[in-house]
Structure 1
Amino acid sequence: MTGAFAFPGQTPIAIAAGQGSLQGLLTLPARLCALVVLTHAGPAPAARDDALAVVLKHAGIGTLTLDLLTPAEERFADLQHNVSLLARRLLDGLALLKQRMLLGELPPLPIGLSAAGDCSPVVLRVAALRDHDIYALVCRGGLIDLAGALYLRSLAAPLLVLVDENDERSTTSNRRALRQLACPHELQTLPAAADSPTSAATFERVARATARWFIDRLPAANPATATVTPAAG
């Protein structure tokens, strides 16, 4: 990870992985009380993550947008479906965040996870493995059962699953998977968009539903103590 953080502001992040490095962007608002990691595997869904980051920023929630594939790996489509590989990399990213918190370079913030599509089962598995560190998560689309039955049953963090109203396969599969959970959970269907499913208006609707889940469920850190001490070099 990089040295000094821009606080408030944005800091590019690089995490060693295999033959390359994972690329991310840490965004810290001036009034910081929590952190949400926005994961993807492959080309960044900039419009979706940007819309969510803006809404979270107004609530005092920082974001780490993290690509779980190196630039060289993004041409291999099969890696986007490798839940075990992507989960290990997200765990590495979380370990570095926690290390920075222990060193005082980041405040001890509650963490949430957000993902869509192929990364949905990844964040669920990681949240189950790091149940003391992850306080809430949101999955949009994807098939959460691919995380594995053991992880579904052991998940403790509150989970929101968002599915498109016309995506019957994801809705049916995810409803079946949710029956295995003991943690608080909710499935919300998103109304079919009159405009494009990738339009700014659609992203804003998803961002507001996602942000509301985190705002309601992430324990608020004390904004007065949520300061960053930049690292040397």
Structure 2
Amino acid sequence: MSPNSPSIDIRITVDGLFLPGILCVPEKATGIVVFSHGSGSSRLSTRNNFVAEVLQKRGLATLLFDLLTEDEDNIYENRFNIDLLTVRLVDVIHWVQSNKKTKRLSIGIFGASTGSASALRAAAFYNDDISAVVSRGGRPDLAMTELHKVTAPTLFLVGGWDTKVIELNKKAYEKLKCESKLKIIPEASHLFGEPGKLEEVAKYTGDWFKKWL
């Protein structure tokens, strides 16, 4: 992580609950990317933190946070409760809009796996307040009824070997009415664990957010 953009541990209060997060705001940042992680993951996700560091080096602020408290995460069904996860993400974006360090920044959302559904639903809720969305190996089909409301330019990234998720992304992609792109990364599986593939994800993500934020 760049020494010029140190990260700080924060706690975001939502409905009397405390959600831990990691905030990094580089000097002269013009935008912030809020991460919505997938089921069973957290602000400590190695993949999301890798992408976040690439974005920070490109002058973007990042916020990774836990969508669920530790007790909530112990209830397996909560991890797939898209309604609950979307409400949390909406509340955290409101925090970003109110916080003195971040309120001047344009906002993008990065969603991974099931987190993509809450990212897209939050983008539909906030409409023009969200400047861009990126979905990595996502399940945008879980937000199918809201996709036509999304106005933020949206990028879907899917691994070429992730055949089932490719089909789900194609169906969701057809519902979008905003500026959008579906990018299939060859020879990559669902988690992009193959050599160099997560780096490709980070590059495409960085290019998209730098263009629209």
Q: Distance in 2 between matches of 1:138 and 1:207?
A: 11
> Does the C-alpha gap of structure 1 residues 64 and 181 become closer, same or farther in structure 2, counting only changes over 3 Å?
same
- Counterpart position of 2:78: 79
Query: 1:42–1:67: 8 Å Cα contact kept in structure 2?
Result: no
- Counterpart position of 1:112: 108
Query: Shift of the alpha carbon at 1:39?
Result: 1.8
Query: 1:27–1:63: 8 Å Cα contact kept in structure 2?
Result: yes
Q: Does 1:68 align with 2:106?
A: no
Which protein is bigger by CA-based radius of gyration?
Answer: 1
User: 5+ unaligned residues in a row in structure 2: which ranges?
Assistant: none
- Counterpart position of 1:203: 198
| TM-score, scaled to structure 1 | 0.81
How do residues 137-216 of structure 1 correspond to structure 2 at under 5 angstroms?
Answer: 137-149=133-145, 151-193=146-188, 197-198=192-193, 201-216=196-211
Q: Does 1:133 align with 2:132?
A: no
Identity over the aligned pairs, expressed in percent?
A: 33
Q: Distance in 1 between matches of 2:125 and 2:80?
A: 19
User: 5+ unaligned residues in a row in structure 1: which ranges?
Assistant: 1-6, 219-233
Correspondent of 1:124 among 116, 120, 123: 120
How do residues 23-34 of structure 1 correspond to structure 2 at under 5 angstroms?
Answer: 23-34=20-31
Q: Distance in 1 between matches of 2:17 and 2:95?
A: 17
Q: Distance in 2 between matches of 1:16 and 1:199?
A: 37
Q: Distance in 2 between matches of 1:91 and 1:201?
A: 33
Q: Distance in 2 between matches of 1:120 and 1:126?
A: 10
Query: Shift of the alpha carbon at 1:28?
Result: 1.2
Q: Which structure has more RCO (C-alpha within 8 Å, separation ≥ 6)?
A: 1
Query: 1:43–1:74: 8 Å Cα contact kept in structure 2?
Result: no
Query: Shift of the alpha carbon at 1:34?
Result: 0.9
Q: Deviations over 1:64-108 (max 9, x none)?
A: 0111011222222221111110000011101111112xxx44351
**Number of matched residues?**
207
Query: Shift of the alpha carbon at 1:193?
Result: 4.0
Greater displacement, 172-181 / 104-113? 104-113
Q: Distance in 1 between matches of 2:188 and 2:93?
A: 34
| TM-score, scaled to structure 2 | 0.88
